Amino acid sequence: MNMLEFYKGKKVLVTGHTGFKGSWLCRILVNAGAEVTGYSLTPPTEPNLFSICGVEDKINSVIGDIRDREHLMKVFEEVQPEIVLHLAAQPIVRDSYKDPVYTYETNVLGTVNICECVRQNPCVKSFLNVTTDKVYKNNEWEWGYRENEPLDGYDPYSNSKSCSELVTHSYINSFYCDMEVAVSTARAGNVIGGGDFANDRIIPDCVRAAGNKKDIIVRNPHSTRPYQHVLEPLSIYLTIAKAQYEDKKYAGFYNVGPDDKDCITTGELVDMFCAKWGEGLKWINQYDGGPHEANFLKLDCSKIKRVFGWRPRWGVEEAIEKTVEWSKIYFAGGDIPACMDGQIKEFFVNKIKNK
């Protein structure tokens, strides 16, 4: 685990650490021996992964709002982080229609605040802003978007993340180019995995239905998305942050997504989930007339493969298998931290062996 060994003793600040991806990321970093500080609101759901993944007493967990620049600045000054991984966001498309102002404040002003803290704290050597594949102007064509395609997300969530990208670009051009800090953004596709309890996401909906022994309700079975296990983007985030820490030439803008074979329809995804879960689980098509959602979206990830020699480790079928494994242990009252550590070890050890 050469990449993870780099993080031993490193001071790492993770925003959004109480969320789904943030909790998995903290578990990885704690296992690697990093000195982790998290800055986030309280966990967004109940139940939530952060409370059951066994990291809260192993990190410096700061509850705060990314919109509160004064508080965030105090944390930076106290912690003096070397590496900053910015995951804090309002991440749900439908919620962005319900409260667009909060979405923009969190995703845009929050990025301004984190960028300003990085600017004023020269201790930071590596800064990664995590956005989304939805930042692109979506023409619903069949080929993947590349990093130089126009940014213009449609809905308030997607658009606010496009703005987050532009804020980061401006800080790079205006300030960071004359500093020692290396800065990148990572545009990740849809992630799945054990412990996601969010509303309005297909795999959490599947898990809830399975746990309650009910049919799964699918709103749009024909929409096509790139799906990947949560450990895939987290591993490349850590790879980018390490590489640019050691050499600024690796700083840039990166798509992070699965291979084309794992860009599938929602209906196909749910079919796989039902097959892996068993117990007669099935789904029904029930379009609810909700707000606009893209029907087709995928990424061209050739850049990150070329620069880092990166290849996805788990395809979508294995990702669902790992999600089902985690979820069944959860419903049985099993050892969640042990399950996560086992999946992390399997992922990273096999990743090294396959290189």
Q: pLDDT tens for residues 151-186? A: 999 999 999 999 999 999 999 999 999 999 999 999
Residue 222, pLDDT score = 86
Rounded to whole angstroms, how far apart are CA atoms 40 and 24? 14
pLDDT band for position 324 (cuts 50, 70, 90):
very high
pLDDT tens-digit map of 84-117: 999 999 998 889 999 999 999 999 999 999 999 9
Whole-number average pLDDT of the chain: 93
Q: What is the pTM of this model?
A: 0.94
* Domain 8-288+296-347 CATH class label: alpha beta
User: Is the pLDDT assigned to residue 352 strictly greater than 50?
Assistant: no
